Structure 1
């Protein structure tokens, strides 16, 4: 009886030790990789991928330590491979699909944190990127989350950080020369801070001509306020020149000869009444702006650390000590920047 127990103990010892080691390693990995609750989705993404890899390796280690014959062990490993392949094959509507899509987005990098994107009618700035979903902050300051599989299966419009075109459409009657109108529209775009403004005639309607004035906005972060300034300058320039802006429906709903032009009288505000130029983007996209600044800071610190680590190889002993202290300070700053939670 004792001999049978000893034999059974020897038989179960490998699987018991392997299971114990696997449990300890996974507990330490969970605490080390995901124990910090202040991590945002972008910082946690690579850690979650590492943890997934550890789970796969742990299962294979347990399978190899099973007290069975080699043919049975191979069947268990083969079954695991079939199950894993089946999960990936049928992952179009599952969690695995979002994980795979998150990996694809991370490597292709169609956009980065802080970019303006448009997806199926939704427009805003990217405020967070995670393993399962991506979050944007809209013009109403709302936070909208898209699953990563949704983003990979739908067209994404990304506004280039180097600049974008801002446009405004309006209709003017045939009683005004198009060259005169184009002059005022180009001037309005220039006053709004747009570079290289131009005007297009997009339609010759039954009652009016449709124009489009456009210009290059170099600082895309001021997209909302710049668009508003463009509209305001168009109104000021055209109304100041006694040019009426009205739609065909408005033309047909009244007799022009009996009514004055639909142009408001200009108002002159006192200096104390003139409002300072507002910056609505700082309120609308506060979380996205903070997330972008955090990501840029982390990238800058990481590059500085890599540069110093390269320099320390060829430095003398005194310089090495100084560089080591500088690297330690930068690493501490980097850790603090990564752990700082994004503003909700």
Structure 2
């Protein structure tokens, strides 16, 4: 053999021999998968770039992590079949994978191997603690003892709070009797004893918190109750965690909302201060009436808050969810369809505010209702009539109707007028003179400008005379009209002029006149004479006449 071949053999042979000793056959390699210090099964093949030992260790760590909170009442194990592999799933999380290569190394099918591993994992997770009769009796005794302690604890809490309630009742009685104690006005009037009420709330809260903390300790003596307690706390912990972590995530948005709300409130406060100063004439704006100030401030405030709400809305929790959007659309639809009349009244109220057809205290005639304006709101206007009746009129109805305002800002006199009809046989000069005399006798009518009379129409049987007079007392119109009519009757009766038309003369009852001062017993109608005879009025008239003749 040549020398160089011998040298090559001596160099390569030891390495080949060492490699043969370090790599045993594939079927002899295996690594355990461990859970709760118990070997579940063995892996006999590696996966991709993962060595066999690394694969087994990672599977063990993954199982420990996934099963740390395992609860057989809520969690489930199941198989998910793929292409040449089957996964063992814990709920929706991957636990163990079984490949076709694993099945070949175990000389079985992949389905049987996956089911075997699933059963091993399931039995390990659900195995219970075997207790002897003596151990069961001991644990039951501990449970009964803890229950007795709990009962005595609750009784003690109730006894202590009864003592506290008696003391609080005495304190509250002294508290309410103090005349200078302003805090008593903040106590709800319907509550018999607010301090005792608050004490009972604290008592119930303490008992509930104690049961919440003490219950796991009581049931910890029974292995079967561990999962029930964990399930109970899971139901409570889930919403608490959701709210807590949701609040943590909401903190950045909360700062944004607070900043927007702060600036919106600040701007509205500035606008309200300006409006108050304009209303009280401490600040003047050219061509801007003071009664516009507060409504304008409210309108600007509404727009600013609406803009702030639009900016804040995307940052509210759940604003992007379909449920939140659906509820928002539903509420908006209800408001849109249900507030048509209200929106019409609001718009009419704004228009009336800037039209300024009347002010608070003005005497107005709206929708045939006369009275003084006592309140103006964005929706309605309230009027107090001359009969002291409070009438509420929607602003939309006022806007489409006619408004007569008897008051004015410059306090100028208004003209009151009344019409009478007289026959053509009476000279118009006489009628004018008598009407002006009646106006002169009426108080609250102005002498300057002087009253005047208008002949408003020449009808078939009579002439219409209209007496016009000035007054500054528009709120006393009913009384002025009443006195004016009374004076007209007095003046015309004294002058022997009856306020009748010739059409009435044709239908007289027999009397020659209706003027009391000119009416004599013999001029009365036959019907009035019969009435006077029955009532004895004619005898009184005869006695008065005879007495007058004797006196003469």
Matched residue, 1:210? 464
Aligned equivalents of 2:377, 2:318: Cα separation in 1: 41
Matched residue, 1:187? 437
Q: Rate the CA distance shift 1:168–1:7 in 2: closer, same or farther, 3 A.
A: closer
Aligned equivalents of 1:7, 1:91: Cα separation in 2: 39
Matched residue, 2:315? 65
Whether the 8 Å contact between 2:362 and 2:373 is mirrored in structure 1 is: yes
Matched residue, 2:214? none
Partner SS, residue 213 of structure 1: strand
Partner SS, residue 111 of structure 1: coil
Matched residue, 1:123? 370
Whether the 8 Å contact between 2:367 and 2:398 is mirrored in structure 1 is: no
Superposition pairs of residues 36-115 of structure 1, within 5 angstroms = 49=299, 52-53=302-303, 55-66=305-316, 93-115=340-362
User: Does 1:150 find its partner at 2:150?
Assistant: no
User: Does 1:134 find its partner at 2:396?
Assistant: no
Q: Rate the CA distance shift 1:228–1:67 in 2: closer, same or farther, 3 A.
A: closer
- Return the offset for 1:159: 1.4
- Structure with higher Rg: it is 2
User: Does 1:260 find its partner at 2:502?
Assistant: no
Measured against aligned partners, the alpha-carbon deviations of 1:42-98 in whole angstroms (never above 9, x if no partner) come to 9986775466345414422322535799x99xxx9xx99xx79x95xx899422222
Matched residue, 1:298? none
Measured against aligned partners, the alpha-carbon deviations of 1:106-143 in whole angstroms (never above 9, x if no partner) come to 22211111111112212111111112111111122211
Matched residue, 1:12? 250
Aligned equivalents of 2:351, 2:317: Cα separation in 1: 39
Q: Alignment partner for residue 165 of structure 1, among 389, 411, 415? A: 415
Superposition pairs of residues 241-260 of structure 1, within 5 angstroms = 241-247=495-501, 250-254=504-508, 258-260=510-512
Q: Rate the CA distance shift 1:14–1:252 in 2: closer, same or farther, 3 A.
A: farther
CA RMSD after TM alignment = 4.2
Aligned equivalents of 1:251, 1:126: Cα separation in 2: 46
Aligned equivalents of 2:252, 2:402: Cα separation in 1: 52
Partner SS, residue 373 of structure 2: strand
Partner SS, residue 233 of structure 1: helix
Partner SS, residue 166 of structure 1: strand
Q: Rate the CA distance shift 1:176–1:9 in 2: closer, same or farther, 3 A.
A: closer
Aligned equivalents of 1:230, 1:204: Cα separation in 2: 23
TM-score (norm 2): 0.37
Higher relative contact order (Cα pairs below 8 Å, separated by 6+ residues): 1
Q: Rate the CA distance shift 1:67–1:110 in 2: closer, same or farther, 3 A.
A: same
Superposition pairs of residues 227-242 of structure 1, within 5 angstroms = 227-242=481-496
Partner SS, residue 135 of structure 1: strand
Q: Rate the CA distance shift 1:120–1:245 in 2: closer, same or farther, 3 A.
A: same
Aligned equivalents of 1:44, 1:247: Cα separation in 2: 56
Partner SS, residue 451 of structure 2: strand
- Return the offset for 1:219: 2.6
User: Does 1:222 find its partner at 2:458?
Assistant: no
Structure 2 unaligned residues grouped into runs of 5+: 1-240, 273-290, 519-552
Measured against aligned partners, the alpha-carbon deviations of 1:286-305 in whole angstroms (never above 9, x if no partner) come to xxxxxxxxxxxxxxxxxxxx
Q: Rate the CA distance shift 1:142–1:9 in 2: closer, same or farther, 3 A.
A: closer
Structure 1 unaligned residues grouped into runs of 5+: 34-41, 267-344
TM-score (norm 1): 0.57
Q: Rate the CA distance shift 1:51–1:94 in 2: closer, same or farther, 3 A.
A: farther
